[in-house]
């Protein structure tokens, strides 16, 4: 029996040994070790991910593409490993920089792509239509008590029923609306002119012109009907839609204006009406538009511009203009049009309709980001976080902490330390994260603001929602790398890239610039690589006036020094000559290249496209010679950096021995070739 047990144990040991020896063999290729740097093993999939990302399909088709890139990859990994061993990733400046990149890279993961796409399509569809609507507003503070909110809700529904039962909307707006623009305003002598109320009429508007809930109600309510009550941060609205029409877009018009006060007498109305009709008749009888504007328009700001107004959209102009523009073609003018300001004759100059979806997409995306509707995407993300991680609120704990926080919170004077230490029970739970009553109290103390006319519990509920939102977002943020492998890989790339840059700057780039002794030594050892070819010590004279050529040439030929020539030309008031002295190699200057390379004065040609006459004076030809360090500093510095780079990599390979698994590499190459 003992012998059988012993044999079984030996067999198991043998099997484990075989498995250990052949573990690499039985692994899928992607998991096998491709290379080892010191004690770090790098699998095939890690290399291929970077290789495929940084090489185009065309580059990957080259015969030695993988081997060539592997050399670059090894050098890269060696430098990153050195930086990590030097603890450069623990430095505060590194952490701050990486965190900044992470915040930007993480943003897409905190939005719901499907919601954003829906909002984008919705915005574009609404952009195609202008809506005219009226409203009735009952003001309710967003932090109002439940009792006050319910009171306003009941009242707005009662008003709606009256309208449905036949009461004219304009009459109801005049009677009930708390929007000041709805009611007539009497004149206050010396302070305010009389103004006729709009009876709730808001004119025309389009997407993004109104608060999102209001906009939605307007677009979803049929013409001639009243919406259900709509809540915005102003209060409750009823929206009555009076018209929907194809979008006007951006319009440019001119007008002839005859002013008429809102409280004008019947006699004034008659007189002004006669005036605008006579102006219109004169236009019909061949008076030019510009002449009519100058002679008759009472809009002083536009008279000097032919009556032209600034470009506008439907929400920036009175509705009568919008309706009139629909009936005009560019260049046409309207019959007299009455608005709240007076009489107008409107001439259409141009309209620019909304573009295609692709043309408008980028602009709409930016506007959505800045608009309240963007919250829908965030709310969807938070809802998914809660659902996927079994979010839970402990009601009794919530009731207790709300009761413990007194009204000092409304005056920004609440202190979390004022609460008893026993108030530390679980309040919410998300996954394995639990937030306590104490955590919420600390959050309230940190984020409280003074509140006017606000119910304490309403305000605490608002803070509680934000507390939950922050907990959810922090939870997702902490798990991004685990939840999204692509994000983890991207962050690894940024982590390694910053380390590589910082260490390369220290070891190579800045060192080459600052190490003057090392640079000089390198230059002296490699001076033969920095040679001047044959050069012409010459001056190029460019004369850009034909009438100055003869006078300028006399001065140039008689002078031996460029400075003296320049002074003499200036004294003779010859300003059309450009003097370009220098030591030129072949290819440095086309005019020097064009003449004989012997001392002398040469005509280098005239331009056939401009008044330009060029002459070259060659003083001497300089034989090939070594460049001085200052003359070749840029090139020497670049070469010295390359030298430091190679020496550094050589040292790193000694410090972290590199071993490439040639068998695995062969399989990787074969696998890639089979993809072609």
User: What pLDDT does residue 673 have?
Assistant: 84
> Is residue 191's pLDDT more than 80?
no
Q: 297 in helix, strand or coil?
A: coil
User: What pLDDT does residue 2 have?
Assistant: 43
Residues 154, 418: Cα–Cα separation, whole Å: 40
Residue 332 phi, psi (nearest 5): -85, 155
Helices (H) and strands (E) in the chain — how many of each? 27, 19
User: What pLDDT does residue 264 have?
Assistant: 87
pLDDT-derived band at 453, boundaries 50, 70, 90? confident
The average confidence (pLDDT) of the chain is: 92
DSSP string over 439-463: HHHHHHHHH----SS--HHHHHHHH
**CA end-to-end distance (rounded Å), the chain:** 60
Nearest of 384, 315, 363, 369 to residue 130 by alpha carbon:
315
Radius of gyration of the chain (CA): 40
User: What pLDDT does residue 234 have?
Assistant: 95
Residues 238, 155: Cα–Cα separation, whole Å: 11
User: What pLDDT does residue 672 have?
Assistant: 84
> Is residue 509's pLDDT more than 60?
yes
Average of per-residue pLDDT across 156-180: 96
User: What pLDDT does residue 142 have?
Assistant: 87
pLDDT-derived band at 12, boundaries 50, 70, 90? very low
The per-residue pLDDT for range 621-640, each reduced to its tens digit, is 999 999 999 999 999 999 99
- Cβ-contact 185, 198 below 8 angstroms: no
The per-residue pLDDT for range 115-128, each reduced to its tens digit, is 999 999 999 999 99
Nearest of 456, 442, 363 to residue 406 by alpha carbon:
456
Pairing of strands 433-436, 426-430: antiparallel
Question: Which has more pLDDT, 605 or 212?
Answer: 212
User: What pLDDT does residue 22 have?
Assistant: 44
The per-residue pLDDT for range 296-308, each reduced to its tens digit, is 999 999 999 999 9
pLDDT-derived band at 257, boundaries 50, 70, 90? very high
> Is residue 204's pLDDT more than 70?
yes
> Is residue 295's pLDDT more than 70?
yes
Average of per-residue pLDDT across 288-294: 96
CA distances (Å), origin 108, targets 113, 124, 273, 477 = 8, 21, 59, 12
Residues 351, 261: Cα–Cα separation, whole Å: 30
pLDDT-derived band at 194, boundaries 50, 70, 90? low
Assessment of whether the complete model's pTM goes beyond 0.85: no
> Is residue 482's pLDDT more than 70?
yes
- Cβ-contact 620, 599 below 8 angstroms: yes
């Amino acid at each position: 029996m003992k012998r059988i047990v012993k044999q079984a144990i030996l067999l198991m040991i043998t099997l484990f040994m075989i498995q250990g020896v052949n573990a690499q063999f039985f692994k899928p290729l992607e998991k096998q070790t491709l290379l080892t740097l010191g004690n770090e093993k790098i699998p095939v999939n890690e290399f291929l991910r970077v290789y495929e990302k940084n090489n185009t399909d065309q580059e990957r088709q080259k015969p030695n593409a993988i081997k060539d890139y592997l050399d670059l990859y090894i050098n890269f990994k060696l430098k990153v490993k050195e930086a990590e061993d030097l603890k450069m990733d623990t430095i505060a400046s590194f952490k701050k920089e990486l965190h900044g990149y992470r915040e930007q890279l993480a943003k897409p993961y905190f939005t719901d792509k499907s919601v954003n796409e829906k909002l984008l399509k919705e915005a574009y569809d609404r952009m195609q239509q202008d809506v005219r609507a009226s409203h009735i507003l009952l003001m309710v503070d967003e932090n109002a008590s439940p009792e006050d909110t319910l009171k306003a809700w009941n009242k707005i529904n009662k008003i709606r029923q009256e309208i449905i039962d036949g009461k004219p909307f304009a009459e109801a707006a005049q009677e009930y609306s708390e929007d000041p623009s709805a009611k007539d305003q009497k004149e206050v002598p010396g302070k305010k002119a009389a103004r006729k109320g709009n009876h709730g009429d808001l004119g025309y508007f389009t997407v993004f012109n109104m608060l999102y809930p209001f906009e939605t109600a307007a677009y979803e309510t049929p013409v001639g009907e009243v919406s259900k009550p709509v809540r915005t941060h102003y209060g409750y609205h009823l929206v009555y839609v009076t018209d929907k029409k194809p979008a006007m877009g951006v319009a440019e018009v001119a007008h002839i204006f005859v002013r008429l006060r809102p409280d004008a007498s019947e006699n004034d109305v008659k007189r002004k009406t006669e005036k605008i009709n006579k102006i219109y008749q004169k236009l019909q009888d061949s008076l030019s538009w510009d002449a009519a504007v100058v002679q008759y328009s009472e809009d002083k700001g536009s008279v000097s511009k032919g009556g032209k107004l600034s470009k506008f959209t439907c929400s920036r102009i009175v509705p009568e203009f919008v309706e009139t523009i629909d009936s005009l073609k560019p260049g046409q003018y309207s019959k007299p049009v009455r608005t709240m300001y007076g009489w107008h004759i409107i001439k259409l100059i141009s309209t620019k309709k909304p573009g295609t979806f692709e043309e408008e997409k980028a602009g709409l995306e930016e506007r959505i980001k800045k608009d309240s509707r963007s919250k829908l995407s965030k709310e969807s993300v938070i809802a998914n976080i809660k659902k996927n991680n079994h979010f839970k609120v402990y009601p009794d704990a919530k009731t207790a902490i709300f009761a413990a926080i007194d009204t000092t919170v409304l005056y920004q004077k609440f202190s979390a330390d004022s609460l008893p230490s026993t108030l530390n029970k679980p309040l919410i739970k998300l996954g394995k994260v639990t937030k306590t009553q104490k955590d919420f109290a600390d959050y309230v103390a940190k984020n409280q603001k003074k509140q006017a006319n606000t119910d304490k519990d309403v305000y605490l509920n608002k803070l509680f929602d934000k507390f939950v939102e922050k907990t959810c977002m922090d939870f997702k943020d902490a798990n991004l790398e685990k939840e999204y492998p692509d994000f983890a890989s991207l962050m690894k790339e940024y982590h390694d890239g910053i380390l590589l840059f910082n260490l390369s700057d220290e070891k190579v780039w800045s060192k080459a610039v600052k190490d003057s002794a090392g640079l000089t030594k390198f230059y002296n050892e490699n001076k033969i690589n920095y040679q001047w070819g044959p050069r012409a010590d010459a001056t190029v004279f460019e004369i850009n006036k034909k009438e100055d050529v003869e006078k300028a040439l006399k001065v140039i030929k008689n002078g031996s020094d460029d400075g003296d020539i320049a002074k003499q030309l200036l004294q003779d008031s010859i300003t059309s000559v450009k003097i370009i002295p220098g030591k030129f190699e072949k290819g440095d200057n086309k005019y020097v290249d064009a003449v004989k390379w012997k001392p002398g004065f040469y005509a280098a040609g005239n331009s056939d496209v401009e008044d330009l006459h060029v002459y070259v004076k060659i003083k001497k030809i300089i034989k090939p010679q070594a460049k001085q360090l200052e003359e070749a500093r840029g090139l020497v510095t670049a070469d010295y950096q390359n030298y430091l780079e190679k020496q550094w990599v050589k040292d790193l390979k000694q410090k972290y021995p590199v071993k490439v698994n040639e068998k695995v590499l062969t399989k990787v190459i074969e696998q890639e070739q089979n993809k072609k």
